């Protein structure tokens, strides 16, 4: 299991950050704090190290620029809209190793899938119960298919 930055887990927002969603991170580096540009502004030539991708936007547009990005936020305005899962997977397939953050209507029952496709931080609109998050992430001992998290699929375990 990844190192979880428990100090940043939901539930203890500092008074100064009341409107900021509690951040759940699975990275050891410090959270990136600079402004996060909308995708159009970023592609328009602004000097940003963080960008936000909305569901209808093409994550592949970022591929030429991954080297100068530290954080890519992927927005989930509605939890039922699953386009962000493909966005994250595409970015990891392209070799991006920076932070990919799921932002918005992010529910605990999606976190397992999101971790698999390469999200390593979460800024949910409503705080998540850290105990339930951990139980969710620990639940599956095996997976059937490859994804961005690099877990070994059972067909590989079967045929070592």
Partner 1 sequence: MYRYDQYDQAIVDARVAEFKEQVGRRLRNEITEDQFKPLRLMNGLYLQLHAYMLRVAIPYGTLSGTQMRMLAHIARKYDRDYGHFTTRQNIQYNWIKLEQFSDLLDDLSKVEMHAFQTSGNCIRNISSDQFAGAAADELADPRPYAELLRQWSTLHPEFSFLPRKFKIAVIASDTDRAAIQLHDIGLQLRKNDAGDLGFRVYVGGGMGRTPIIGKIVRDFIPVGQFLSYSEGILRVYNRYGRRDNIYKARIKILVTELGIEEFTRQVEAEWAQLEPLGLDAPQAEYDRIIAQFSDPEYDLTATDTLDLSDPDFAMWVAQNVHAHKQPGYAIATISLKPKRGIPGDASSAQIDVIADLAEKYAHDEIRVTHSQNLVLAHVRKADLYALWQALDAADLATPNLDLVTDIIVCPGMDYCTLANARSIPIAQNIAAKFENNVAEQRDIGELKIKVSGCINGCGHHHAGHIGILGVDKKGEEAYQLLLGGSGAEDASLAKILGPGLDENGIVAAVDKLIAFYRTARSAPEERFLDTYRRLGPAPFKEAVYG
Q: Which residues contact partner 1 (rule: CB under 8 A)?
A: 55, 79-83, 85-86, 89, 93, 107, 109-110, 112-114, 116-117, 132, 135-136, 139-147, 153-159
Alpha helices in the chain (DSSP H): 39-43, 83-93, 108-116, 130-138, 154-158
DSSP bridge partners of 74: 53, 102
C-beta closer to partner 1: residue 89 or 121: 89
Min CB(105)–partner 1 separation in Å: 10
C-beta closer to partner 1: residue 20 or 155: 155
Min CB(152)–partner 1 separation in Å: 11
Min CB(52)–partner 1 separation in Å: 17
Tokens matching residue 143: 């997976």
User: Of 140, 86, 138, 148, which Cα lies nearest the Cα of 115?
Assistant: 148
DSSP 29: S
């Amino acid at each position: 299991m990844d190192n979880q930055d428990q100090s940043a887990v939901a539930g203890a927002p500092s008074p100064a950050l009341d409107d900021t969603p509690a951040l759940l991170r699975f990275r050891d580096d410090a959270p990136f704090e600079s402004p996060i540009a909308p995708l159009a502004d970023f592609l328009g030539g602004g000097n940003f190290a963080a960008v936000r991708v909305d569901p209808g936007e093409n994550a592949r547009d970022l591929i030429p620029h991954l080297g100068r990005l530290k954080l890519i936020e992927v927005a989930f305005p509605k939890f039922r809209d699953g386009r962000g899962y493909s966005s994250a997977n595409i970015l990891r397939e392209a070799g991006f190793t920076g932070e990919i953050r799921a932002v918005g209507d992010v529910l605990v029952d999606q976190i397992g899938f999101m971790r698999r496709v390469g999200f390593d931080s979460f800024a949910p609109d409503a705080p998540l119960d850290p105990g339930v998050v951990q139980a969710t992430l620990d639940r599956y001992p095996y997976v059937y298919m490859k994804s961005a998290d690099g877990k070994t699929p059972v067909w590989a375990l079967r045929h070592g």
